[in-house]
């Protein structure tokens, strides 16, 4: 049966009923209506002994409140929908206990987010006979009733409140001033008040054709445009019937139409529809019923967006400001605060638009989400938990601008007033160092590392903060001084123009290769090994230097390790390669009273190997010497063993054995008297003597 056939049948039934109002005729009409639009009693809630009345369902359809007289008083109850049925019916004690035995609590309605209940009651201390109150959810409990105040309540009756999904419009009823002739019922008119920055506006009565003089129990739907209410008016088929009107594009209410799918010959009141818009709950006689809503009567398509706003670290619920805007026009659709006790929020958005959801809380980060609902064709629910945080994680990546090595540094954070709020040390092992910064402030971050130029940057964590992790790369420039390095002939003192310098930084991983006789910029605070060589018939030479933290050049005595300041620069003298030339090898160390080489000796011996490979005809003597500590024979034997250890290392790296001879001279050839520890250190040495060499013409 199509819609128009249904209307025709109902009109015929109404006309027939108007001729004779016998009980049997009413029953007949009721049976026909039920056959067209079956209505189902909500058996889990309704009972034979008591009256269950005024259902109101949350936007997600999972919680219902209603009133009942099961304890002899009109009290409010709450029930939950789980696994296809309503369960766990419990009284809302915090509200019910505010009444005495003569008080009435009636007309409850949820806010669409389920965090408030609006109702009217005759509590003492009100502004009129019955006032409008609200109670807020705190976890699983509800606060004591709070009067809406004189902006809403008058000296007469104010009741049956219902609030729009955006929280901006409150609809309710007051005593009617224009009761239609012939109606003996107690009648009301529907009013509306707008929420402003300064409070609720002066309530205004809704115009004709909504108010005809005997209306009751309005309910604004989730689209904020559809209003359903009960009315006694011409054309009804019983007592109070339910009617539906909508706001058109001009902001005017269209003519109300009767809801034939729900109206019966009894009083039909208190419609409640979840955001899905497919099922209506209502009151008839003494029970609560449900009926499926025909497609032509369904409200505009909606989406329910719900979840919990919580602290990102503790996961505790937070109260925050929520603002919904049109993504294309930036028009503010609604703004409100969610439930403060557990952070739950629920928003109903109309299809056909794109939205931005913005969440803010003082001293917390913000959240911004985009929802495109322009092509939504059916009801949907989105779960969106929102985590806000009080601190941002600033990852400062500190490294050497030239070598890209991580640096040990001090990170100092100051606020806009210059006060230091945190000091964090980087370990120099990892590039990334995390600094936690409280949201809601702007900061200056200064990075300092010894012997590097400091660097600072700013970070502003005020306003709309959406991201928790921030990255900042800090490339620090090393402090340097110029160090002249000259390479000269050991015998003539003249400059060796064809020399090569290899400068190895012993403090960090750095190697510099340049030609000799020039000034090179070296890092303050670092120690270097400077090696000079020439392929024009010279042996190698090396020395160790350090640039002090004060930027002074310091040379290091090879035998004693003594450090001396030298402002002139570095001079390396190269021994010309010739038969019988002697070259003292540096940094050749053995275990005490042993011929076992320390690994630190290999660097100098590798230079010997390189030299011998460059001059294949060169034959050498490796001579080891000791100081005068110990028996002379023992020192000779030990020095011979040490010379053999040096030769063993050289031959193991590709040099033929017949090119080397070992000699152990013990204490017999001191270079200085053994009269001090410093001199003894100089006498403990390994020397290279050239036994034979044939140089090419150009060497």
pLDDT in tens, 439-454: 999 999 999 999 999 9
Does the pLDDT of residue 2 top 70, yes or no?
no
pLDDT tens for each residue of 205-226: 999 999 999 999 999 988 888 9
Mean pLDDT of the chain: 90
- For 555, phi and psi rounded to 5 degrees? -100, 155
pLDDT higher at 549 or 14:
549
Alpha-carbon span 215 to 220, nearest angstrom? 14
What is the Cα–Cα distance from 624 to 312, expressed in whole angstroms?
70
**How would you class 508 by CB atoms within 10 Å of its CB: exposed for 0-12, middle for 13-18, buried for 19 or more?**
middle
Please, which pLDDT band fits residue 78 given cuts at 50, 70 and 90? very high
pLDDT given for residue 698 in this prediction:
62
Q: What's the confidence (pLDDT) of residue 658?
A: 95
Per-residue pLDDT averaged across 659-668, rounded? 95
Unique residue bearing structure tokens 């000699």: 663
Spatial neighbors of 323 by CB under 8 A, at least 6 apart, are 332, 334, 335, 357, 358, 359, 360
Closest CA to 523 of 396, 398, 405: 405
* Residues 255, 190: Cα–Cα separation, whole Å: 15
pLDDT digits (tens, 9 = 90+) for 570-615: 999 999 999 999 998 988 888 878 899 989 899 999 999 999 999 9
Would you state the pLDDT for residue 21? 43
Write out pLDDT tens, residues 472-501: 999 999 999 999 999 999 999 999 988 999
- Please spell the DSSP secondary structure of 340-382, one letter per residue: TTT-EEEEEEETTSEEEEEEE-TTS--EEEEEE-TT--S-EEE
Percent of the chain with pLDDT over 90: 72
Q: How far is CA 474 from CA 317, 400, 438, 522, in A?
A: 37, 9, 21, 21
Q: What is the pLDDT of residue 112?
A: 83
Residue with tokens 């019922």: 185
Q: What is the pLDDT of residue 7?
A: 44
Identify the residue whose tokens are 């919904």: 324
> Are 108 and 66 in contact, with CB atoms under 8 Å apart?
yes
What's the CA gap between 497 and 88, in Å, rounded?
98
- Cβ-proximal residues to 438 (8 Å cutoff; 6+ apart), any chain: 363, 390, 391, 421, 461
* Cα–Cα distance, 649 to 10 (Å, whole number): 113
Q: Are 269 and 283 in contact (CB under 8 A)?
A: yes
E strands of 176-293, at which residues?
188-196, 199-200, 204-205, 215-220, 226-231, 241-246, 257-258, 268-273, 279-284, 287-292
How confident is residue 378, by pLDDT bands cut at 50, 70 and 90? Answer: confident
Tens-place pLDDT, residues 568-578: 899 999 999 99
Residues 290 and 108: their CA atoms lie apart, in Å, by: 17
By CB neighbour count within 10 A (0-12 exposed, 13-18 middle, 19+ buried), where does 56 fall? Answer: buried
* CA dihedral sign of residues 408, 548, 540, 494: positive
DSSP-assigned letters across all residues of 537-586: TB--EEEEEEE-TTS-EEEE-TTT--EEE-SS-EEEEEPBP-TT-EEEEP
Residue 157 and residue 122: Cα distance in Å, rounded? Answer: 9
> CA–CA separation, 95 vs 121, rounded Å?
10
Per-residue pLDDT for 235 more than 70? yes
Across 411-428, average pLDDT: 95
Residue 181 has pLDDT above 90, yes or no: no
Q: Give me the pLDDT at residue 356, please.
A: 96
Q: Which pLDDT score is estimated for 30?
A: 64
Whether the pLDDT of residue 12 is over 70: the answer is no
Closest by CA to 298, choosing from 352, 237, 221, is 221
Q: Is the peptide bond before 209 cis (omega within 30 degrees of 0)?
A: yes
User: What sign does the CA torsion over 195, 198, 199, 200 have?
Assistant: negative
Q: What whole-number percentage of the chain has pLDDT above 70?
A: 95
> What pLDDT is recorded for position 699?
64
Q: Best-predicted range by mean pLDDT among 77-81, 164-168, 334-338, 373-377?
A: 77-81
pLDDT exceeds cutoff 60 at 179:
yes
pLDDT attached to residue 497: 83
Confidence of residue 237 (pLDDT cuts 50, 70, 90): confident
* pLDDT band, residue 8 (cuts 50/70/90): very low
Arithmetic mean of pLDDT, 527-544:
92
Q: Read off the pLDDT of each residue in 182-206 and give the average, rounded to a whole number.
A: 91
Per-residue pLDDT at 437 exceeds 80: yes
Residues 270-281 have a mean pLDDT of 88
The answer to whether residues 219 and 242 touch, using CB atoms and an 8 Å cutoff, is no
Statement: residue 1 has pLDDT above 60: no
Cα separation of 254 and 580, whole Å? 119
pLDDT given for residue 340 in this prediction: 84
Residue 174 has what pLDDT? 96
Look at residue 37 and tell me whether its pLDDT is greater than 60: yes
Give the residue among 587, 638, 612 at the shortest CA–CA distance from 691.
612
- 634 φ, ψ (degrees, to nearest 5): -65, -40
pLDDT above 70: residue 17: no
Predicted pLDDT of residue 217 = 95
* Three-class secondary structure of residue 83 per DSSP: coil
Say if residue 317's pLDDT is above 80: yes
Phi, psi dihedrals of residue 496, rounded to the nearest 5°: -95, 100
Q: What is the mean pLDDT of residues 150-155?
A: 96
299-308, 558-567, 570-579, 644-653: which has the minimum mean pLDDT? 558-567
Closest C-alpha to 150, from 118, 126, 117, 121? 126
Residue 4 has pLDDT above 50, yes or no: no
The answer to whether residues 231 and 241 touch, using CB atoms and an 8 Å cutoff, is yes
Indicate whether 16 pLDDT > 60: no
pLDDT at 20: 43
Residue 167: Cβ within 10 Å count: 16
Residue 638 confidence class, pLDDT cut points 50, 70, 90: very high
């Amino acid at each position: 049966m199509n819609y128009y056939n249904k209307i025709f049948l109902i009109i015929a039934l109404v006309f027939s009923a108007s001729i004779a109002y016998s009980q049997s005729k009413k029953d007949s009409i009721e049976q026909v209506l039920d056959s067209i639009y079956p209505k189902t009693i909500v058996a889990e809630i309704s009972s034979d002994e008591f009256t269950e009345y005024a259902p109101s369902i949350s936007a997600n359809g999972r919680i219902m409140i209603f009133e009942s007289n099961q304890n002899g008083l009109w009290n409010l109850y709450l029930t939950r929908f789980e696994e296809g049925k309503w369960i766990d019916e419990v009284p809302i004690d915090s509200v019910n206990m505010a009444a005495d035995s003569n008080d009435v609590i009636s007309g409850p309605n949820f806010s669409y987010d389920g965090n408030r209940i609006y109702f009217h009651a005759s509590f003492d201390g009100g502004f009129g006979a019955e006032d409008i109150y609200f109670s807020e959810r705190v976890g699983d409990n509800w606060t004591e009733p709070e009067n809406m105040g004189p902006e809403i309540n008058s000296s007469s009756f104010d009741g049956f409140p219902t609030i729009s999904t955006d929280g901006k419009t409150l609809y309710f009823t007051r005593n009617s001033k224009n009761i239609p002739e012939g109606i003996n019922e107690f009648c009301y008119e529907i009013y509306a008040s707008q929420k402003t920055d300064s409070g609720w506006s002066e309530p205004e009565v809704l115009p004709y054709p909504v108010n005809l003089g005997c209306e009751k129990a309005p309910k604004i739907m989730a689209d904020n445009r559809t209003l359903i209410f009960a009315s006694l008016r011409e054309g009804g088929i019983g007592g109070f019937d339910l009617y539906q009107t909508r706001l058109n594009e001009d902001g005017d209410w269209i003519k109300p139409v009767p809801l034939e799918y729900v109206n019966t010959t009894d009083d039909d009141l208190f419609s409640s529809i979840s955001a899905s818009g497919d099922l209506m709950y209502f009151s008839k006689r003494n029970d609560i019923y449900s009926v499926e809503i025909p497609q032509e009567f369904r409200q505009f398509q909606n989406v329910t967006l719900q979840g919990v706003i919580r602290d990102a670290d503790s996961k505790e619920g937070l109260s925050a400001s929520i603002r919904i805007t049109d993504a294309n026009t930036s028009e503010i659709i609604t703004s409100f605060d969610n439930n403060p006790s557990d952070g739950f929020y629920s928003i109903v958005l109309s299809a056909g638009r794109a939205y931005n959801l913005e969440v803010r809380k003082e001293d917390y980060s913000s959240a911004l989400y985009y929802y495109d609902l322009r092509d939504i064709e059916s009801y949907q629910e989105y779960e969106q938990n929102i985590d806000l945080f009080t601190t941002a994680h600033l990852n400062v990546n500190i490294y050497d601008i030239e070598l890209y090595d991580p640096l040990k540094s001090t990170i100092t954070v100051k606020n806009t007033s210059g006060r230091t709020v945190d000091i964090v040390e980087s370990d120099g092992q990892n590039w990334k160092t995390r600094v936690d910064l409280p949201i809601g402030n702007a900061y200056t971050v200064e990075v300092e590392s010894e012997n590097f130029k400091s660097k600072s940057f700013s970070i502003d964590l005020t306003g709309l903060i959406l991201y928790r992790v921030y990255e900042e790369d800090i490339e620090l420039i090393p402090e340097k001084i110029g160090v002249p390095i000259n390479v000269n002939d050991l015998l003539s003192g003249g400059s060796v123009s064809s020399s090569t310098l290899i400068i190895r930084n012993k403090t960090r991983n750095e190697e510099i290769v340049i030609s000799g006789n020039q000034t090179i910029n070296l890092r303050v605070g670092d120690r270097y090994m400077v090696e000079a060589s020439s392929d024009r018939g010279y042996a190698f030479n090396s020395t160790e230097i350090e640039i002090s933290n004060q930027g002074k050049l310091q040379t290091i005595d090879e035998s004693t390790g003594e450090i001396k300041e030298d402002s002139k620069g570095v001079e390396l003298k190269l021994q010309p390669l010739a038969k019988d030339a002697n070259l003292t090898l540096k940094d050749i160390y053995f275990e005490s009273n042993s011929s076992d080489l320390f690994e630190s000796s290999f660097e100098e011996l590798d230079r010997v190997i390189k030299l011998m490979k460059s001059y294949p005809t060169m034959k050498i003597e490796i001579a080891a010497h000791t100081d005068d500590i110990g028996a002379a024979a023992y020192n000779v034997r030990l020095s011979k063993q040490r010379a053999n250890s040096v030769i063993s290392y050289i031959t193991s790296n590709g040099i033929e054995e017949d090119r080397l001879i070992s000699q152990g001279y013990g204490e017999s050839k001191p270079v200085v008297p053994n009269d001090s520890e410093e001199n003894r250190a100089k006498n403990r040495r390994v020397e290279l003597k050239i036994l034979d060499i044939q140089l090419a013409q150009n060497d």
